[in-house]
Structure 1
């Protein structure tokens, strides 16, 4: 089975000039947690997820001491957190999005897709054809298709 047979063709995406506020609105409107970021030619230039946003607003500093790894939360009141949350809304999506995006070609085998999703611990894979975004595949899509004989 190939990517084109299991991918969703209606992809919710955002343009590279969008604000993080716009992205969050898309997440809320559509009940999703991540979207590809595309340029005017519909080429994938990034991917932003709720985790990327959480990493920004949950800012912390890291200390390494005596071979143990400690994470020390920044000291301060809730205003620092709220200020970071407010501030990020007006950021350009590309300031927060990942620029390295795992993708698959439209004719990729489902076994390789399952391997990538599992190995890279990602939830969704954008699907490209000739460098252009044409679909998206989630872990759930693969599981449903792989085990549809149970239904």
Structure 2
């Protein structure tokens, strides 16, 4: 079985010119946790996930702890923390997106895709055909297609 046989063809994505706000809005609207980032030619230039947002917040942990402590002790509110969160939302997506993206080829075997998803501990792989985004494959897609006929 090949990637194009199991992939989801309708892919939620963001453009490289979008903001983290656009990403979070799509996460909430579509109940997803990761998106390919594409340029104007629909070429995959990055991937952004909820983990990337968490890593960004974690990278600024000391600042956030100080802000929360200061707000709680001296102000009684989270005005400073909200300002920091708003700053994150206004960043360009490429500031937090991974630029080295694991991808599946259009005609890649399901066994190879399963190995990549399992060994690299990632949840989804964008599928590329002729250099552009063609679909996306999740762990769930692989499991459903692998075991559908065996149950």
TM class, shorter-chain normalised? Answer: 0.7 to 0.9
TM-score, scaled to structure 1: 0.86
SS in 2 for 1:115: helix
Partner residue in 2 for 1:77: 67
Greater share of strand: 1
1:80-132 CA distances to partner (integer Å, 9 max, x unpaired)? 65443221100000001000000011000000000000011000000000111
Q: How does 1:135-150 map to 2 (within 5 A)?
A: 135-150=135-150
Q: Distance in 2 between matches of 1:114 and 1:87?
A: 37
* RMSD, aligned CA: 1.6
Number of equivalences: 140
SS in 2 for 1:58: helix
TM-score, scaled to structure 2: 0.86
User: Please, which runs of 5 or more residues in structure 1 have no aligned partner?
Assistant: 62-72
Greater share of helix: 2
Q: How does 1:82-93 map to 2 (within 5 A)?
A: 82-93=82-93
Task: Report if aligned partners of 1:14, 1:37 keep a CA contact under 8 Å in 2.
Answer: yes
Partner residue in 2 for 1:41: 41
Q: Which runs of 4+ in 1 moved over 4 A?
A: none
SS in 1 for 2:18: coil
Q: Distance in 1 between matches of 2:88 and 2:81?
A: 11
Q: Distance in 2 between matches of 1:31 and 1:97?
A: 19
Q: Distance in 2 between matches of 1:130 and 1:116?
A: 20
SS in 2 for 1:128: strand
SS in 1 for 2:99: coil
User: Please, which runs of 5 or more residues in structure 2 have no aligned partner?
Assistant: 69-77
Q: How does 1:95-106 map to 2 (within 5 A)?
A: 95-106=95-106
